[in-house]
Structure 1
Amino acid sequence: MGRKSDARQRILDAGATLFGQRAYSTIGVAEICAEADVPKGSFYYFFPSKQALALAVVDEHWVWQRGQWMGILTAPEPIVDRLRALFIATAEMQSAALKGTGAVAGCLFGNLALEVSAQDDPLRARLQEIFDEQIDIVEGAIREAVTAGEVSVASPRETARSIVAQIEGMILFAKLFNDPAQLDQLWQNSMKLLGLGDAAVAA
């Protein structure tokens, strides 16, 4: 039985594991408690519902991912190097999941968004906020690059939106085909969005 002091984190970790492996709708509180090795009473002490846990799992994952993205995209490097580092980190995460579990995990946010977009307003709203924040971070890096004369784009916001959409889409392909190599196309496509073309890709 999990100690009281770490029960909440055990439940969060169990939720993150299960939500990353299977459809959200197929996972029940009893299974989460079994994975966390805590009684149902402990679950409901910390979380009034599975939805509340999912929101907490999403927030915890975003704290980690936001730190990673900010560390990479605010580095004092040219935009092409920052984006390359972001794509490498993304691919490495999927490769690690494949090596550890035999399956590409995909994106927790994208996986949940596909399932709950038509039925779970609080979770959908939170995921929308997170995707908007991702776009904000990429947009900030692009605007810095425009100011520095590295790139010239008509709309940094829309370019950032397209890059984030590409990341999500290629991760979905990587999960579908169980192949992290699907992410290789991210680099070439994003350089084209930034108007840098084949020269930057080959650099």
Structure 2
Amino acid sequence: MTASAKFKTSDVRADILSAGQRIMAAKGYSAVGLNEILATVGVPKGSFYHYFGSKDAFGEALLESYFEDYLAELDRTLSQSDMSMAERLMDYWRIWQESQSFEDCQGKCLAVKLGVEVADLSEAMRAVLKRGTSGIISRIEHAVEAGVAEGSFAISENPQTVAQSLYQLWVGASVMVKITRSMQPFETAMLTTRRLLNVA
């Protein structure tokens, strides 16, 4: 395979994943057929199986790609050198609010949108979700440890418990935002987060 052909193959695969992420974040996994995704990127259905063995294999690759991008962005947010760890962590929750909107999350709320749905449909996709969310919680835990060490906030539980509680709080708030069509659950989550971290 030539370098240009290899690049084209990689490019088409990335286009399919990108379109799938946007569409499935809006409609869910089961409600979206492959034809809708492929029509968006102009790829024949027969060609789909050159890139993915099945819809479930596509779903697995989609979640892997999503978490790879998400964790890289989280790492950038938590490594801003001109801010205290408390400021960085609160910035992460602010970005969460903006990217998990009930109106249009632009494919950035895939874990929340698909989590419950695909965990019961596919063991492979559930495993990707577990690895991805564990990666998020681990990074929050390390941020909490760093924040306590620098004195930018204080906690009454151990960092792992706080990290798990915070992530679960925000996932739950995201679901409630979609149910209520209101940003109020995020406001409550932010107040609770500040209280758990003792941030002013």
After TM superposition, the score normalised by the length of structure 2 is: 0.84
Alignment correspondent of 1:168? 171
Of 41, 44, 51, which residue of structure 1 is paired with 2:49? Answer: 44
**Pair 1:90-2:92 in alignment:** no
Q: How many pairs are equivalent? A: 191
In the TM superposition, 1:11-50 aligns within 5 A as 11-50=16-55
Q: Given residue 90 of structure 1, which amino acid in structure 2 is its aligned partner?
A: W
Higher RCO (Cα < 8 Å, 6 or more apart): 2
Counterpart CA distance in 2 for 1:116 and 1:56 is 13
Work out the percentage of aligned pairs sharing the same amino acid: 27
In the TM superposition, 1:23-172 aligns within 5 A as 23-76=28-81, 77-95=83-101, 98=103, 101=104, 107-149=109-151, 150-172=153-175
Counterpart CA distance in 1 for 2:143 and 2:21 is 29
Structure 1 residue 181: Cα displacement: 4.3
Counterpart CA distance in 2 for 1:190 and 1:144 is 16
Counterpart CA distance in 2 for 1:37 and 1:67 is 29
Alignment correspondent of 1:178? 181
The gaps in structure 1 that reach 5 residues or longer are none
After alignment, is 143-152 or 85-94 more displaced?
143-152
CA deviations on 1:49-108 (whole Å, 9 max, x unpaired) are 11111122212222221122112223343332122211111122235x73xx5x897721
Q: How much is the aligned-residue C-alpha RMSD, in angstroms?
A: 2.3
After alignment, is 50-59 or 24-33 more displaced?
24-33
Structure 1 residue 47: Cα displacement: 0.5
Q: Secondary structure at the match of 2:100?
A: helix
